[in-house]
């Protein structure tokens, strides 16, 4: 994990306000130029990808909203997206680039637009299959992490 200081860019070029309120999972990827305002808390679980230039707010001074943001395991957030306070992005959900997320995104959901709206759920597109751990595509190349050695608890050697 990079050194994270309040208001200063990390070595990867993303910035956090109130880093003491940020919980960052393993194997996360946060793109250059992203901003995380974690005053009310931000939880980013394992294997999350966040595109460059994304803004995640736990506090909004425009409409006085405040609430923690939770981005669950394996979610993918497209570049230049804005996520507002109190939002949960579900497990393995996909948020299209340039979206404005002001409502929760369900597990495996796919949303796009301003404001973000549902277009489908993962697995509804032909050929997109998950393994027994619920992982899709390239996420399947590593274990689910449930075993002591970090492997998949659903497969046998």
Which structural domain range is residue 63 located in? Answer: 15-125
DSSP annotation of 90: P
Closest by CA to 70, choosing from 112, 36, 99, 119, is: 36
Mean of pLDDT values over 3-18: 97
pLDDT band of residue 126 (cuts 50, 70, 90) is very low
| Residue 74 forms part of a structural domain | yes
Mean of pLDDT values over 121-140: 53
The rounded distance, in Å, linking the Cα atoms of 21 and 44 is: 11
Check residue 120 and give its pLDDT.
75
Residues 119 and 135 occupy one common structural domain:
no
Task: Name the more confident of 153 and 94.
Answer: 94
Residues 22 and 81 occupy one common structural domain:
yes
| Residue 8 forms part of a structural domain | no
CA-to-CA separations, 69 to 55, 106, 114, 127, 148, in angstroms, rounded: 12, 14, 19, 31, 29
Residues 94 and 145 occupy one common structural domain:
no
Q: Which two tokens stand for residue 19?
A: 């880093």
pTM of the model: 0.79
Check residue 130 and give its pLDDT.
55
| Residue 1 forms part of a structural domain | no
């Amino acid at each position: 994990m990079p050194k994270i200081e309040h208001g200063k860019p990390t070595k990867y070029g993303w910035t956090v306000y109130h880093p003491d309120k940020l919980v960052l999972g393993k194997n996360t990827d946060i793109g250059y130029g992203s901003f995380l305002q974690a005053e009310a808390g931000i939880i980013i679980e394992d294997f999350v990808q966040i595109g460059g230039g994304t803004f995640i707010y736990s506090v909004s001074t425009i409409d006085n909203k405040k609430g923690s943001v939770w981005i669950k395991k394996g979610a993918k957030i497209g570049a230049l997206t804005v996520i507002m306070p109190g939002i949960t992005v579900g497990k393995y959900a996909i948020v299209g680039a340039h979206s404005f997320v002001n409502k929760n995104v369900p597990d495996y959901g796919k949303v796009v637009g301003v404001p973000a709206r549902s277009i489908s759920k993962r697995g509804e597109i032909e050929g997109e299959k998950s393994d027994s751990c619920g992982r899709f595509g390239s996420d399947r190349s590593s274990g689910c992490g449930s075993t002591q050695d970090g492997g998949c608890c659903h497969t046998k050697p």
